[in-house]
Structure 1
Amino acid sequence: MHPKLSVITIVYNNVAAIERTMLSVLNQTYQNIEYIVIDGNSSDGTTELIGKYKDRLAKFVSENDKGIYDAMNKGLALATGDYVLFMNSGDEIYAPETVEEVFASAPSGDIYYGETEMYDADWHSLGQRRHEAPEKFDWHSFKYGMNVSHQAIYIKRSLTEPYDLQYKYSADIDWILKAAKKSSNIVNTHLYVAKYLVGGMSKQKHLESLKERFRILSKYYGFIPNLFNHFLIALNLAFYYIKHRRTND
């Protein structure tokens, strides 16, 4: 059983990192991959670089879009795989054998997930994310933060819906939770499956992102429980930084 995986990469003006991302997909040992690249009409050489690999892509679109989630929806609409994985520009599938190992971990999962390793702009490892992937994952699992990265989750395409474009920063949380609510067989691969480039979102955008995430989580868990959960998140964050400051001192 070798399910077809649609890997979707979206990119805009990221000539420095797009090739690294693409090669992490194109060099997979797993054979049944459909690779879709959606470019937002880049002007920095990204489009030309992608063109080098055009004959190895299932689909390549380069045109203006209305933002990140609009681009992701374009990729989703073109996907024909049994499963979908978003591996956006700057991130990488963990190792050449990762996809093979994910599908070998258990048959016929609705969702497969794993751990993410973080990297800085110079591509030096920063170690595991602060939120470790939970041993068991379901739609309640984001109560205390997004503990599974978008790049580390393979979802059965039949369970997905388009991203909700009312959200500008956190539509991926809503998208994953919608699919998780419909899932009955969610597989923890117990593998590192993705490398994530830590981005520098401006403080203003970060605040907007947090507000949006709060709205989304309130929709799923209720306003008062979500308020309480965020209080616990803040406490955990404070303890995390105190502990790590002591370790570094």
Structure 2
Amino acid sequence: MFKPKLSIITIVYNNVRDIERTVKSIIGQTYNNIEYVVIDGASNDGTLDILNKYRQSINVFVSEPDKGIYDAMNKGLALATGDYVLFMNSGDEIYALNTVANIFASSPDADIYYGETEMINDAGESLGQRRHQAPKNFTWRDFKYGMSVSHQAIYIKRSLTEPYDKRYSLSADIDWILKAAKKAKKIVNVNHYVAKYLVGGMSKKKHRQSLKERFRIMREYYGLIPTIFNHGIIAFNLGWYWLKNRRTND
């Protein structure tokens, strides 16, 4: 039976409201070859009290100031020892308690596994599927119209990963996934929901900066002219999506 070691990394800073949901979704997995790594940015709002409740289920724990989310994620990546890595940051959840087991049972020895993501609100209530539906067959070229696979829904062989590029403060996850996907030979769609994503986050609060970083990353991978053209398609698709949903809700 294919049963690789999975390192799940959670980054958190002052999120006492949501951290317990995330932790429970990980430590309750039926799959038993998981290394859980938690990187806390020296929280002072009660987050550490929650984490200490589950300390015995956390394999690697660090609580210290950091230089931003991707600095913290690089710390977690450097400490991970699993065959695969998954980032499940505070507020997000693994979809169900048998999700990890089902992913590795779907096909042996893939470079990347991925699935669909459900959006949730602050109360943990479902908001339905992400606007960017996961492609049937994913390659690095599929990000040209946006991030079609969410960070929480992608399991990557650790040997393919590199540190996050800290030139980007909001969108380095796109660059990180693209680098790994370009190296991957076998990418498996597990064809079901694998993660719950808490809407909002820093990239939404600083949307303009996030868009600039995404354009810069896509220009690097796809070229300037194709990226300009693709952003026109992105804008059209976004406008059509909101118009369609507005009509549905009216």
| TM-score normalised by length of structure 1 | 0.98
> Is structure 2 residue 212 aligned with structure 1 residue 219?
no
Which residue is 1:114 aligned to? 115
Corresponding residue of 1:65: 66
The answer to whether the 8 A contact 2:115-2:193 is kept is yes
Structure 1 distance, partners of 2:221, 2:203, is 27
Superposed displacement of residue 241, structure 1: 1.1
Cα shift readout 1:181-236 (whole Å, capped 9, x = no counterpart): 00010000001000010015487711000000000000000011000000000011
Measured against aligned partners, the alpha-carbon deviations of 1:7-51 in whole angstroms (never above 9, x if no partner) come to 000000001110110010000000000000000000001112101
Report the Cα distance in structure 1 between the residues aligned to 2:140 and 2:239, rounded to whole angstroms: 25
* Alpha-carbon spacing, 1:219–1:246, altered in 2? closer, same or farther (3 Å): same
Report the 3-state secondary structure (helix = DSSP H, G, I; strand = E; otherwise coil) of the residue aligned with 1:121: coil
Alpha carbon RMSD of aligned pairs, Å?
1.0
What are the equivalent positions in structure 2 for 1:1-20 lying under 5 Å apart? 1-20=2-21
Alpha-carbon deviation of 1:247? 1.1
| Aligned counterparts of 1:137 and 1:94: Cα–Cα separation in 2 | 20
SS of 1:55's equivalent?
helix
1:46 aligns with 2:47: yes
Taking the aligned partners of 2:176 and 2:193, their CA distance within structure 1 comes to 22
Task: For residue 76 of structure 1, report the CA deviation from its aligned partner.
Answer: 0.2
Deviation at 1:86, TM superposition (A): 0.1
2:171·2:210 contact (CA, 8 Å) conserved in 1?
A: yes
Distance 1:72 1:201, change over 3 A: closer
Task: State the alpha-carbon separation in 1 of the partners of residues 114 and 204 from structure 2.
Answer: 29
State the AA in 1 paired with 2:110: G
TM-score, normalised relative to structure 2:
0.98
C-alpha change, 1:196 and 1:204, in structure 2 (3 Å) is closer
Q: Which residue of 1 aligns with 2:167?
A: 166
Partner of 1:131: 132
- 1:101 matched to which residue of 2? 102
CA drift of 1:124 comes to 1.3
Distance 1:215 1:118, change over 3 A: same
Q: 3-state SS of the aligned residue for 2:240?
A: helix
Could you give the per-residue CA deviations for residues 73-108 of structure 1, whole angstroms, max 9, x where no partner exists?
A: 000000000000000000000000000000011110
User: Quick one: distance in 1 between partners of 2:8 and 2:248?
Assistant: 39
Using a 3 Å threshold, how does the CA distance of structure 1 residues 82 and 122 change in structure 2: closer, same or farther?
Answer: same
Equivalent residue runs for 1:76-87 within 5 Å: 76-87=77-88
Q: Quick one: distance in 2 between partners of 1:202 and 1:150?
A: 13
Unaligned stretches of 5+ residues in structure 2:
none
Whole-angstrom distance in 2 between the partners of 1:12 and 1:127: 27
Q: Per the alignment, do residues 52 and 137 of structure 1 end up closer, same or farther by CA in structure 2, a change over 3 Å counting?
A: same
**Corresponding residue number in structure 1 for 2:93:** 92
Gaps of 5+ in 1: none
